[in-house]
């Protein structure tokens, strides 16, 4: 393997698994896992409202528009917001594996500033799986899928059981999900996993 080894670098014996039979079909919009999620939730007014589409393999493409509420420096996206977009997109890869997972580590490189009102196009892919560890990488480009690179990221996600969320989540939010048949349907897609 070329380059430095970091905690987000897959070990030599990591594999690229098959896409889950329950994964969204290539070209399909991957819906929000939670309507009020800061990253993908359509009902979060200051959120990214990021949309992601399943790729052909173990990859996704996503995009979001940088709004004035997302700025750090005058007229520029806040670095933490850009990291959130990368985290959300990398996390979406787990829909293709059919297993819920949480971020264990996320490393980012900021290449250039992203102006407010820009659309950030992100391409993410799984780079290996080792046990419950999912390794992935992403690149965010300004204005178009082939636009200038603004940010790169590598991540390590850890597959968890659904109880992780019901045990650690705020009780009123967990109950809200349990009372919503659409949310339960999304969660049931993951029940067969570790």
Residue 40: both structure tokens together: 């993908």
- What total number of domains does the chain contain? 1
Q: Does residue 15 lie within any of the structural domains?
A: no
Q: For residue range 159-190, list pLDDT tens digits in order.
A: 987 665 566 666 666 666 666 656 545 554 54
The total number of residues shown for the chain amounts to 194
Q: Does residue 68 lie within any of the structural domains?
A: yes
Do residues 105 and 50 touch, judged by C-beta distance below 8 A? no
Looking up residue 59, the CATH number of its domain turns out to be 3.10.129.10
How far, in Å, CA of 3 to CA of 6, rounded? 9
pTM of the entire predicted model: 0.84
Q: For residue range 61-94, list pLDDT tens digits in order.
A: 999 999 999 999 999 999 999 999 999 999 999 9
Q: Does residue 148 lie within any of the structural domains?
A: yes
Q: Does residue 84 lie within any of the structural domains?
A: yes
């Amino acid at each position: 393997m070329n380059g430095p080894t970091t905690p987000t670098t897959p070990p030599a014996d990591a594999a690229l698994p098959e896409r889950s039979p329950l994964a969204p079909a290539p070209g399909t919009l991957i819906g929000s896992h939670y309507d009020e999620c800061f990253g993908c939730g359509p009902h979060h007014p200051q959120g990214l409202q990021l949309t992601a589409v399943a790729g052909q393999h173990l990859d996704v493409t996503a995009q979001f528009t940088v709004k004035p509420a997302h700025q750090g420096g005058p007229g520029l996206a806040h670095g933490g917001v850009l990291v959130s977009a990368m985290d959300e997109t990398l996390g979406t890869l787990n829909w293709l594996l059919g297993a819920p997972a949480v971020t264990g580590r996320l490393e980012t490189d900021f290449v250039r500033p992203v102006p407010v009102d820009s659309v950030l196009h992100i391409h993410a892919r799984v780079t290996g799986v080792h046990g419950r560890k999912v390794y992935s990488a992403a690149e965010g480009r300004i204005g178009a899928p082939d636009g200038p690179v603004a940010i790169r990221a590598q991540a390590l996600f850890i597959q968890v059981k659904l109880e992780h969320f019901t045990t650690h989540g705020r009780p009123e939010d967990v109950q809200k999900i349990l009372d919503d048949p659409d949310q339960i349907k999304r969660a049931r897609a993951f029940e067969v996993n570790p």
